[in-house]
Amino acid sequence: MPTITAAQLAELLGGTLHGKAERLLSAVSTLESASPECVTFLANARYAALLDVTQAGVVLVAGGTRREKGDVIEVADPYSAFVRVLEYFHPAKEFVAGIHETASISADAHLGANITVGPQCVVEAGAQIGDNSVLEASVFVGRDSTIGKNCRIYPNSVIRHDSQLGDRVILHSGVVIGADGFGFAFEKTAYRKIPQVGIVVIEDDVEIGANTTVDRATIGETRIGQGTKIDNLVQIAHNVRLGKHCVVAAQAGISGSTVFGDYCRVGGQAGFVGHIKIGDGAAFGAQSGISRDVESGEVLSGSPGRPHGIWKRIEAALPRLPELLRRVKRLEDRLDIDVPNKESDRAR
**Which of the residues are catalytic?**
238
Checking 278-287 for CB contacts under 8 A at 24+ apart, the result is 280/243, 285/311, 286/249
Pairing of strands 289-290, 277-278: unpaired
Q: Does 251 bind its own copies (CB under 8 A)?
A: yes
| Residues of this chain, 253-282, that bind its own copies according to CB under 8 A | 253, 255, 268-269, 271, 273, 275
Closest Cα partner for 288 from 311, 270, 263?
A: 270
In 42-189, beta strands by DSSP E: 58-61, 71-74, 98-99, 104-105, 110-111, 116-117, 122-123, 128-129, 134-135, 140-141, 146-147, 152-153, 158-159, 164-165, 170-171, 176-179, 184-187
CB of 12 to its own copies, least distance (A): 16
- What's the maximum distance between 2 C-alpha atoms anywhere in the chain? 89
Pairing of strands 199-202, 164-165: parallel
Q: Could you say which of 66, 194, 280, 308 contacts its own copies (CB under 8 A)?
A: 194
d(CA 102, CA 314) in angstroms, rounded, equals 59
CB of 282 to its own copies, least distance (A): 16
d(CA 60, CA 164) in angstroms, rounded, equals 41
Shorter beta-carbon distance to its own copies: residue 62 or 250? 250
Q: Does 125 bind its own copies (CB under 8 A)?
A: no
Query: Is residue 126 classed exposed, middle or buried when 0-12, 13-18 and 19+ CB atoms within 10 A define those classes?
Result: middle
Q: Could you say which of 15, 70, 118, 281 contacts its own copies (CB under 8 A)?
A: 118
* Contact mark string toward its own copies, 148..167, x via CB under 8 A: ------xxx-x-x-------
CB of 169 to its own copies, least distance (A): 12
CB of 207 to its own copies, least distance (A): 7
Give the count of residues interacting with its own copies (CB under 8 A). Answer: 115
CB of 138 to its own copies, least distance (A): 6
Shorter beta-carbon distance to its own copies: residue 16 or 102? 102
Q: Could you say which of 14, 53, 76, 87 contacts its own copies (CB under 8 A)?
A: 87
String of b and e for 9-46 (b: at least 16 CB within 10 Å)? bbeebebebbbeeebebebbbebeebeebbbbbbeeee
**Stretch of 17-25, 63-71, 126-134, 300-308 lying at the interface with its own copies (CB under 8 A):** 300-308
Q: Does 337 bind its own copies (CB under 8 A)?
A: yes
Q: Does 79 bind its own copies (CB under 8 A)?
A: yes
| Residues of this chain, 200-219, that bind its own copies according to CB under 8 A | 205, 207, 209-211, 213, 215, 218-219
CB of 168 to its own copies, least distance (A): 10
Q: Does 95 bind its own copies (CB under 8 A)?
A: no
Q: Could you say which of 48, 119, 292, 297 contacts its own copies (CB under 8 A)?
A: 119
Find the helix packing angle between 6-13 and 78-89, rounded to 10°.
120
Alpha helices in the chain (DSSP H): 6-13, 78-89, 308-317, 321-334, 341-347
Q: Does 48 bind its own copies (CB under 8 A)?
A: no
Q: Does 193 bind its own copies (CB under 8 A)?
A: yes
Shorter beta-carbon distance to its own copies: residue 67 or 244? 244
